[in-house]
């Protein structure tokens, strides 16, 4: 039996999911995946992450600005493990450290990048710094909200603020650029990369006992909107951009500083302003990458060239859903979550060319936003 935990949007996020769901089907044929119902009563668990060694799953509760841990309580059931821990407004992504000692939460609404500790049982723990801040707020008679969570990393600054002010572009457009942290990836050298979709940044962090320390930043062209990333076996970092429909490839220099080495359109026919790429994933062998274009509702396939330093767009196919928010490669197939169609689709992939071959199966599921294989 093939099983996936399914993240989704609830009513607070204009969705119909009741909590973390279960998607299950025939492990051999993979043609009978179906939604088996919610296994938790959790508001808008939009992104899920697995602990590396424990039977514990972490959920970004996007509408509640918090992260919560869940432990396996049966073959296909979860139960809360402790209380939710505050992260930030519209927390949309969580990534667990390979050590299992903490996770990094990315918050779209307020731009926060937050380190949250994990104890030996997998429970989320509030850092001592946060408790001290709460005590200080109480002693000074300040509202509790005045004490932000411990582990909140340094806020991003807009690298284009000066040029925008000089040109008057912000004032002319009437739109202020704001920080939107969106995802995190743990790199092979122990550092962490995060994206800021609002400020066109990829930020590199050094984890320390006291929290995340900013190492340096890579500034992408203005208005690209870096969203999600893939750390490639070659050592390169691939970044898909939501606004410009591109995939940027980053590499490290001898001094450890990351920089852009190439960029390519996610699809030759992607239409900026109409298409909005979502997830970026790779095949098991690393030869191909796949991104989904919300708008045209297509899946774009790209071939990794050379030593991983460049990409080539090779195919475009129907995703089988409306607004494909998330997808993953599983046992030679591509599983796609359709946020607006309340459905999932399973696509065949050509192992030789990497191209999507067609839709094998679809099933209904309430406002799906993320797949996580049940371990």
> What does the longest C-alpha to C-alpha distance in the chain come to?
65
Give the tens place of pLDDT for each residue, 37-54: 999 999 999 999 999 999
What does the pLDDT average to over 330-343?
Answer: 96
Characterize the bridge pairing of strands 246-252 and 368-373: unpaired
Mean pLDDT of 80-96: 97
What pLDDT is attached to residue 209? Answer: 85
User: Tens of pLDDT along 116-128?
Assistant: 999 999 999 976 5
Output the CA angle 131-55-19, nearest 5 degrees: 75
CA-CA distances (angstroms) from residue 97 to 39, 71, 83, 341? 25, 17, 20, 33
Closest CA to 24 of 46, 52, 41, 2: 2
- pLDDT tens-digit series, residues 263-307: 999 998 899 999 999 999 999 999 999 999 999 999 999 999 999
Least confident window among 80-94, 138-152, 167-181: 138-152
Once rounded to an integer, what is the mean pLDDT over residues 83-109?
98
pLDDT band of residue 132 (cuts 50, 70, 90) is very low
Band (146; pLDDT cuts 50, 70, 90): very low
pLDDT at position 174 is 58
pLDDT tens digit sequence for 233-247 = 999 999 999 999 999
Residue 162 pLDDT level (bands cut at 50, 70, 90) = confident
pLDDT reported for residue 175: 76
Which among 95, 100, 211 is positioned nearest to 151, based on CA atoms? 211
Q: Tell me: pLDDT of 129 over 60.
A: no
Question: What pLDDT score does 127 carry?
Answer: 65
Q: Check residue 173 and give its pLDDT.
A: 56
* Beta carbons within 8 Å of 322's beta carbon, 6+ residues apart: 297, 338, 339, 340, 341, 343
Tens digits of per-residue pLDDT, 190-221?
999 999 999 999 999 999 988 999 999 999 99
Region of residue 69 (left: phi > 0; alpha: psi -120 to 50; beta: else): beta
pLDDT in the model for residue 143: 57
DSSP annotation string for 217-278: EEEPPTT--EEEEEE-TTS-EEEEETTT-EEEEEEE-TTS-EEEEEEEESSTT--BTTBEEE
Q: For the chain, how far is it from start to end, CA to CA, in angstroms?
A: 12
% of the chain exceeding 90 in pLDDT: 84
pLDDT band with cut points at 50, 70 and 90 for residue 27:
very low
Per the DSSP assignment, residues forming a β-bridge with 118 are 124
DSSP letter (8 states) at residue 154: P
Q: What is the pLDDT of residue 224?
A: 98
Mean pLDDT across the chain: 92
In this prediction, residue 105 has a pLDDT band, given cuts at 50, 70 and 90, of very high
How much is the average pLDDT of 3-23? 97
Residue 28 has a pLDDT of 52
**pLDDT given at position 120:** 97
Strand partners, 93: 106
pLDDT at position 134 over 90: no
Question: Quick check: pTM over 0.85?
Answer: yes
Residue 338 pLDDT grade (very low, low, confident, very high; cuts 50, 70, 90):
very high
pLDDT at 133 over 70: no
Tell me: pLDDT of 321 over 60: yes
Hey, what are 240's tokens?
Answer: 């898909």
CATH number belonging to the domain at 2-373, selected among 2.130.10.10, 2.60.40.10, 2.30.30.100, 2.70.70.10: 2.130.10.10
Q: Which pLDDT value is given to residue 97?
A: 98
Q: H helices of the chain, where?
A: 128-139, 161-167, 169-173
How far is Cα 373 from Cα 274, in angstroms, rounded to an integer? Answer: 31
């Amino acid at each position: 039996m093939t099983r996936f935990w399914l993240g989704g949007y609830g009513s607070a996020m204009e969705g119909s999911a009741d909590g973390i769901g279960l998607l299950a089907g025939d492990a051999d044929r993979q043609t009978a995946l179906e939604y088996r119902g919610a296994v938790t009563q959790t508001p808008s668990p939009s992104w899920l992450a697995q602990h590396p060694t424990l039977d514990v799953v972490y959920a970004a509760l996007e509408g509640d600005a918090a992260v919560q841990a869940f432990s396996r309580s049966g073959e296909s059931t979860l139960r809360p493990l402790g209380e939710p821990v505050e992260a930030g407004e519209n927390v949309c992504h969580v990534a667990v450290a390979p050590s299992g000692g903490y996770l990094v939460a990315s918050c779209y609404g307020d731009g926060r990048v937050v380190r949250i500790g994990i104890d030996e049982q997998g429970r989320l723990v509030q850092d001592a710094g946060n408790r001290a801040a709460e005590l200080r707020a109480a002693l000074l008679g300040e509202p509790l909200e005045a004490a932000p969570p411990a582990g909140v990393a340094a806020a991003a600054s807009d690298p284009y603020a000066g040029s925008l002010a000089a040109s008057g572009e912000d004032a002319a457009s009437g739109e202020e650029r704001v920080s939107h942290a969106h995802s995190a990836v743990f790199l092979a050298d122990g550092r962490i990369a995060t994206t800021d979709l609002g400020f066109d940044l990829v930020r590199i962090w050094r984890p320390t006992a006291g929290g995340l320390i900013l190492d340096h930043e890579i500034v992408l062209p203005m208005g690209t909107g870096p969203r999600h990333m893939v750390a490639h076996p070659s050592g390169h970092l691939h970044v898909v951009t939501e606004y410009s429909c591109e995939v940027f490839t980053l590499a490290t220099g001898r001094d450890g500083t990351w920089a852009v080495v190439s960029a390519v359109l996610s699809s030759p026919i992607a239409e900026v302003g109409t298409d909005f790429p979502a997830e970026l994933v790779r095949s098991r062998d690393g030869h191909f990458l796949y991104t989904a274009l919300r708008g045209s509702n297509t899946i774009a396939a790209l071939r990794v060239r050379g030593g991983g330093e460049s990409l080539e767009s090779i195919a475009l196919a129907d995703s089988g859903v409306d607004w494909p928010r998330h997808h993953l490669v599983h046992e030679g197939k591509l599983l796609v979550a359709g946020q607006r169609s309340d459905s999932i689709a399973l696509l065949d992939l050509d192992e030789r060319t990497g191209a999507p071959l067609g839709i094998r199966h679809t099933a209904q599921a309430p406002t799906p936003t993320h797949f996580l294989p049940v371990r």
